Amino acid sequence: MREDIRSFISEVSKPGRYTGGEAGALYKDKSLMDLRVAFCFPDVYEIGMSNLGMKILCGALNEMDNVWCERVFAPWPDMEEKMRERGIPLFTHESGDGVGEFDIVAFTLQYELCYTNVVNMLDLAGIPVMSADRDDSCPIVIAGGHCAMNPEPMADFVDIFSVGEGEEALPELARLYIDMKKSGAYTRKKFLLAAAGLEGFYVPSLYEVSYNADGTIDGIEPKCDGVPKRVRRRIVADLDSAYFPDKTIIPNIETVHDRVTLEVFRGCIRGCRFCQAGFICRPVREKSPETLCRQARAAIDATGYDEISMCCLSISDYSQISSFTDGLLHWTDDARVNISLPSLRADSFTRELMDKISSVRTSTLTFAPEAGSPRLRDIINKNITEEDILKAASLAFSSGKTQVKLYFMNGLPHETDEDIAGISALASEVIEEYYRTPGVNKKQRPQVTLSVACFIPKPHTPFEREPQALPDVLLEKQKYLSSCITDRKIRYNYHDAKVSRIEAVFARGDRRLGAAILKAVKEGETFDAWTEYFSYEKWLEIFDSLGLDPAFYANRTIPDEEILPWDVIDCGVTKEFLLRERHKAAEAIPTPACHEKCSACGANAMAPAEECRWCPGGEKKNANAPAPIIIPAPEKPGASSPKPDPALKPVRTVRVRFSKKDSLSYIGHLDLMNTMSRLVIRSGLPVWYTEGFNPHPKLVFATPLSVGHAGEREVVDVKIVEDVSDETIVETLRPLTPAGMEIIEAFTAEGKLDRIKWAENEIFVHTSSDISGVDIEKLFDGPVIIMKKSKSGEKETDISELIREIRAERTDGGVKITAVTAADSSKFLNPSYIAKVVKEKLGVPEDGGYVEYTRKKLLLEDGITEIR
């Protein structure tokens, strides 16, 4: 944790975003590194730490002994403001060094509305935001991710785009950088030219884009020899041997996805004509069930998470789903690990699969019909029937599920009002199917949730040339669908049409949009992916001021012969195939899935034939053929150890004393509880679990500490079901703690924690104010009335009655106060109230005078004896 953020970090929202020190974080000696990489996620920590791609790429680079890849996240506006006020640059989580000091700065582009954050982060790092303004002393700025499949809107800001899958490509680029540096051949210009010669890297400064009078593109040509006319997307052929982060960083605060994410396969056999991922991730490559089970078990043991989420476009299309689920369910139930399923294909959701996942701890299953009528499903190539959908719903209901979520789109090409009304009609049929399903509890209330997105034409799809409907039209479609829904058992959620339009502008944008991105950042337009910061009107003003027409990008039909901004990228699927699919859509002609008939999309040329089981010559394994599963033995007991006998009772309650300091001081009590729970699970200690829907270790904590307050001798009670010595408990837990936590001792608890009545606190007020002549102890002799916050609101409270003892010591840097304060659940005094009174008396501004809080001890009724 950087020292220069301590004075204000408690004042920002969720300070745990910025402090680092998580268990599993990797630290290297930077003086021994040949290359340092700052890997930036252009959104907040909670979202970035849930991103599997970032974990894979950082891990792949850190596998190299001479490379250190550190993490960076976009600071929330309140944090950015304080950093800019104090001249603090954007910094990394591990070393805390400024991002501008690194050799390579990498960004992952997952969403178009994060583009402004990328530019803002470069500016905050002190790096020239325009690629053309950087010299040899500047870092190389690279970017990848799905949005890099149309790199042009960000071409002004990025030196190199990594196109496709990066876990083999980025180490190759790193080796090139190191070799050129060591040989003395490195200059920025030479490195960019050399990088352009590697497969999967696009250097926009080496291409010239020319335009026609009507604003369309006339050509995209390389400026020099050795630069390919089109950049081929990079893929990893063998996922079984590819790097996977089974031992990963465990965040100290809650993230969007607090669970293990397991990538099952890449690619898709279906070919939905609107779906970008379904085309740019081809060909299909699967991991073996053995690899998946090994990775899942290792990740659970390493993290202490209680849930595994399957990451793929459709888990029910995995050709070895039966063998895989057999191997996974062999141990997950006993290990109290839940399996989270993504959206399922209704036509491949079988009774066998339903039976296998019937124990999954969720009452909701998700399916994606995408369109409300058979005609429109044929147009978009969603090859499922209403019968498939109702059969899948019936299977879900028969297994005890009561809720189904259905994904749809509105504004699709060739959509009519009948198609929209069909969404409501299909949802009603699903409700009726519940009551038609034998064996369900008819007294229970089924629920269908409709999640309806706006169609956005995406590059490298058959619909890349189709127009998006204008926001007013999309809004009318949304209102019409709402009017069709009359059953209260149907919930309806829809996307903001204005947000979707800006997304479409950048999805189909060209280099000229760089000026709009830069202007938006200069005018404070960041975090556009967040509702509270997105301004449609502001974007329209920016486009208008620069002579850019959003309708040109988002809302017009693009002719077959027109050059597209992303034509410089070869995604593996041929242009001819995409045009064929576009014309078939206009005639409502579906295309068979890959496992039924190869449609010659071209993707089979990207990998050895045996790696794509559906391409000609590929190995078409029988999805129902059982494969031998070798269940790996757990590295240690713990998450993978069997459940204890329900009749087994705790042997004793162990009280663990620990410290919570430094970076860990800035997480809240719920985050501390989660951190400690995962720590105990990872330890493999035989602890008692709660019973019910979501079992977890039975832990009891003392009175919570406020965010920003340290604790030197905190306690937590753990129930042990086997005879384990205190020394073993301490020795087992100590190596697993995050930075800022130390396990001090463990002992048999003497009574319950409600015996705690007082706490000894140290309050250090940093101030340069003159404190001579101020008797701080006497400030609290008589009544001290303040407005104290409570659950019922604010009320006047005499805090002197909640202070048993107080003394002060003056230092050069301010004043240190030691106070014994009430710490009972019914009578509790937050030490910050004492600091507030002292600061007022000393004339220190409320937002000045940095204060450090440390709870030294937890005391019994006498205010002297420490809890044991």
pLDDT of residue 316: 84
Given a contact cutoff of 8 angstroms between Cβ atoms, the answer to whether 113 and 18 are in contact is: no
Average pLDDT on 115-128 reads: 99
Name the 3-class secondary structure at 561: coil
Question: Which of left, alpha, beta for 460 (phi over 0: left; psi -120 to 50: alpha)?
Answer: left
Query: What distance in Å separates the CA atoms of residue 595 and residue 597, rounded to the nearest whole number?
Result: 6
Q: How many CB atoms sit inside 10 A of residue 26's CB?
A: 14
Given a contact cutoff of 8 angstroms between Cβ atoms, the answer to whether 310 and 340 are in contact is: yes
Whether the per-residue pLDDT at 527 is higher than 60: the answer is: yes
The most confident of the ranges 103-117, 381-395, 754-768, 843-857 is: 103-117
Whether the per-residue pLDDT at 625 is higher than 50: the answer is: no
For the segment 547-575, what is each residue's pLDDT rounded down to a tens digit? Answer: 999 999 999 999 999 999 999 999 999 99
Write the CA distances from 95 to 6, 124, 190, 257, 416, integer angstroms.
Answer: 15, 17, 30, 25, 56
pLDDT class of 779 with cuts at 50, 70, 90: confident
Paired tokens of 720:
């042990």
Distance of CA 115 to the CA centre of its chain: 17
Write the CA distances from 618 to 292, 604, 745, integer angstroms.
Answer: 21, 9, 59
pLDDT of residue 630: 45
Q: Which residue has the higher pLDDT, 790 or 406?
A: 406
Whether the per-residue pLDDT at 850 is higher than 60: the answer is: yes
Whether the per-residue pLDDT at 394 is higher than 50: the answer is: yes
Query: What distance in Å separates the CA atoms of residue 365 and residue 432, rounded to the nearest whole number?
Result: 17
Residue 795, beta-bridge partner list: 788
Query: What distance in Å separates the CA atoms of residue 139 and residue 142, rounded to the nearest whole number?
Result: 9
Residue 70, beta-bridge partner list: 38
pLDDT of residue 112: 98
Average pLDDT on 270-282 reads: 96
| Average pLDDT score, the chain | 92
pLDDT of residue 629: 44
Task: Kindly report the pTM of this predicted structure.
Answer: 0.93
Given a contact cutoff of 8 angstroms between Cβ atoms, the answer to whether 161 and 204 are in contact is: yes
**Out of 199-213, 356-370, 422-436, 491-505, which region has the weakest mean confidence (pLDDT)?**
356-370
Query: What distance in Å separates the CA atoms of residue 148 and residue 507, rounded to the nearest whole number?
Result: 10
**Out of 321-330, 349-358, 728-737, which region has the weakest mean confidence (pLDDT)?**
349-358
Query: What distance in Å separates the CA atoms of residue 788 and residue 799, rounded to the nearest whole number?
Result: 9
| Structural domains of the chain ordered from first start | 3-232 (3.40.50.280), 260-495+559-611 (3.80.30.20), 652-749 (3.30.70.580), 756-859 (3.30.70.3190)
Distance of CA 148 to the CA centre of its chain: 19
Whether the per-residue pLDDT at 618 is higher than 90: the answer is: no
Average pLDDT on 760-782 reads: 84
Considering Cα of 317, then 319, then 322, then 324, what sign does the dihedral take?
negative
**Out of 445-449, 481-485, 781-785, which region has the weakest mean confidence (pLDDT)?**
781-785
Residue 859, beta-bridge partner list: 758, 866
For 627-767, where are the alpha helices, taking DSSP H only?
Answer: 669-683, 726-733
Query: What distance in Å separates the CA atoms of residue 185 and residue 190, rounded to the nearest whole number?
Result: 8
For the segment 660-707, what is each residue's pLDDT rounded down to a tens digit? Answer: 999 999 999 999 999 999 999 999 999 999 877 678 899 999 999 999
pLDDT of residue 620: 44
pLDDT class of 621 with cuts at 50, 70, 90: very low
**Out of 132-136, 643-647, 707-711, which region has the weakest mean confidence (pLDDT)?**
643-647
Query: What distance in Å separates the CA atoms of residue 642 and residue 332, rounded to the nearest whole number?
Result: 9
Q: Which residue has the higher pLDDT, 768 or 476?
A: 476
Average pLDDT on 14-19 reads: 97
pLDDT of residue 609: 53
Average pLDDT on 165-181 reads: 98
pLDDT of residue 358: 56
pLDDT of residue 634: 47
Given a contact cutoff of 8 angstroms between Cβ atoms, the answer to whether 97 and 125 are in contact is: no
Residue 39, beta-bridge partner list: 71, 106
pLDDT of residue 635: 47
The H or E element containing residue 842 is: helix 832-842
Looking at the chain, the whole-number percentage of residues with pLDDT higher than 70 is: 92
Distance of CA 576 to the CA centre of its chain: 36
pLDDT of residue 42: 99
The secondary structure of 416-451, three-state, reads: CHHHHHHHHHHHHHHHHHHHHCCCCCCCCCCEEEEE
pLDDT of residue 788: 79
444-473 burial by CB neighbour count: b if 16+ within 10 A, else e? Answer: eebbbbbbbbbbbbbbbbbbbbbbbbbbee
259-289 burial by CB neighbour count: b if 16+ within 10 A, else e? Answer: bbbbbbbbbbbbbbbbbbbbbbbbbbbbbeb
Whether the per-residue pLDDT at 341 is higher than 50: the answer is: yes
Whether the per-residue pLDDT at 212 is higher than 60: the answer is: yes
What's the half-sphere exposure (Cβ side, CA atoms, 13 Å) at 827? 17
Name the 3-class secondary structure at 518: helix
pLDDT of residue 626: 39
Given a contact cutoff of 8 angstroms between Cβ atoms, the answer to whether 495 and 454 are in contact is: yes
Q: Which residues contact 241 (CB under 8 A, 6 or more apart)?
A: none
Average pLDDT on 845-852 reads: 80
User: How is residue 215 annotated by DSSP?
Assistant: S
28-42 burial by CB neighbour count: b if 16+ within 10 A, else e? Answer: beeeebbbbbbbbbb
For the segment 805-834, what is each residue's pLDDT rounded down to a tens digit? Answer: 999 988 888 899 999 999 998 889 999 999
**Out of 139-148, 186-195, 395-404, which region has the weakest mean confidence (pLDDT)?**
395-404
Q: What is the largest CA-CA distance in the chain?
A: 90
Residue 83, beta-bridge partner list: none
413 preceded by a cis bond (ω within 30 of 0): no
The most confident of the ranges 436-440, 555-559, 646-650 is: 555-559
Question: Residue for token digits 């459940």?
Answer: 643
Selection from 840, 856, 590 nearest residue 711 by Cα: 856
pLDDT of residue 643: 52
pLDDT of residue 447: 96
Given a contact cutoff of 8 angstroms between Cβ atoms, the answer to whether 816 and 764 are in contact is: yes
